[in-house]
Structure 1
Amino acid sequence: MPNFLKLPTTANALIRVVIETPRGAAAKLAYDPATQVFGYVRPLPVGMSYPYDWGFVPSTLGEDGDPLDGLVIHQAATAPGVIIKCHLLGALRVKQKDRDGKAIRNDRYIFCPHKEDAEDEPAVADQVPEHLRREIEQFFLSSVLGTGKTIKFKGWQCADEALRAIRKGMKAFAARGSSRIKG
């Protein structure tokens, strides 16, 4: 089985997202690189489920020490380990405070799948519609209940700004890998 963390981030100008928790799941799942399996982390609050596929962007590193997070907006549900080549729509900027009081930036990147069979790819909006932004924000606020974490939203980024942040995450991942080789 491949190490999903080390897959190339991009493919033909599209961004790969590795799905950890599929749409409709009532529990958070996560990839464990040590065992190379997807495992149960915790249940969501009662009555909640993931509205869309949730995962990470491979070969990236965020302030929390994990790969950058990604929500893939589409109507199908997949499964843990499915890799979707996506168009980047934007990002929700998030300040997260952990149980220990440490504050970090932990943005959520928003994607839509690339349609391989589309003859003429429709123009991809570089923004998430306002009503969907509010629903996504509400989901993220509710999803951290009982975890000891608090989150505050710092606004939305357009696709270009979000892409710059993903490139920064790619550089951080590469730097961490080279520092391990040297050290």
Structure 2
Amino acid sequence: MKIVNVIVESPKGSGHKYDYEPETKCFKLMKVLPAGLVFPFDFGFIPGTKGEDGDPLDMIIISEINSFPGCCMDCRIIGSIKAQQTERNGKTMRNDRFLGVPEVSQLFKDVKDLEHLPEGIISQIEYFFQNYNEQAGKKFEVLERLDAEAASKEIQ
């Protein structure tokens, strides 16, 4: 299992989207989500990586933990959701979501791969990002789900 360092930007249950800005070394409030829409799990990034969108790779942290923007944790990769995102200007790019479990999690300590999660959790995450992007005038299309081994290779 690949272990990666993850920085939380937007915590589980938050109705606010934060982005880390390397230039200012600050977490900036980027948007307020529509009423009732909240992050289902902590959402952050894997430092030292770069996705097709130019940002570090996105990580959803499956856990019972409620953290905070800037919280750093070691997570094991359990899979990913390969996705294509279409911006408002029509430009389409890959914008995958990697899934990880904190090494300190007790509730999810036996989850080593995407197949160990209930289907409802994965569907909820996919639906959240489809709805989240739709609210911003974008389209988020799930291409496929990858297991832990394939997701770890994508990170490298």
TM-score where L is the length of structure 2: 0.91
What is the aligned partner in structure 1 of residue 46 from structure 2? 57
In the TM superposition, what is the alpha-carbon distance from 1:129 to its structure 2 partner?
2.8
What is the aligned partner in structure 1 of residue 102 from structure 2? 113
What is the aligned partner in structure 1 of residue 113 from structure 2? 126
What is the aligned partner in structure 2 of residue 35 from structure 1? 24
Q: In 1, are the aligned partners of 2:134 and 2:140 still within 8 Å (CA)? A: no
Q: In 1, are the aligned partners of 2:19 and 2:27 still within 8 Å (CA)? A: yes
In the alignment of these two chains, the number of paired residues is 152
In the TM superposition, what is the alpha-carbon distance from 1:15 to its structure 2 partner?
0.6
- Flag the 1:13–1:150 CA change in 2: closer, same or farther, 3 A: closer
Gaps of 5+ in 2: none
Worse-superposed segment, 132-141 or 64-73: 132-141
TM-score where L is the length of structure 1: 0.78
Gaps of 5+ in 1: 1-11, 168-183
More helix by share: 1
Identity %: 35
What is the aligned partner in structure 2 of residue 143 from structure 1? 132
CA distance in 1, matches of 2:134, 2:87: 12
Rg (Cα) greater in structure: 1
CA distance in 1, matches of 2:100, 2:44: 11
Say which of 38, 50, 66 aligns to 2:55.
66
| Secondary structure in structure 2 of the residue aligned to 1:145 | helix
Q: Which amino acid aligns with 1:39?
A: K
1:66-113 C-alpha deviation (Å, 9 max, x unpaired): 000000011121111111100111001100011111110100000100
Q: In 2, are the aligned partners of 1:63 and 1:106 still within 8 Å (CA)? A: yes
Q: In 2, are the aligned partners of 1:87 and 1:124 still within 8 Å (CA)? A: no
Q: Which amino acid aligns with 1:46?
A: A
Q: In 1, are the aligned partners of 2:2 and 2:77 still within 8 Å (CA)? A: no
CA distance in 2, matches of 1:94, 1:13: 21
In the TM superposition, what is the alpha-carbon distance from 1:144 to its structure 2 partner?
1.4
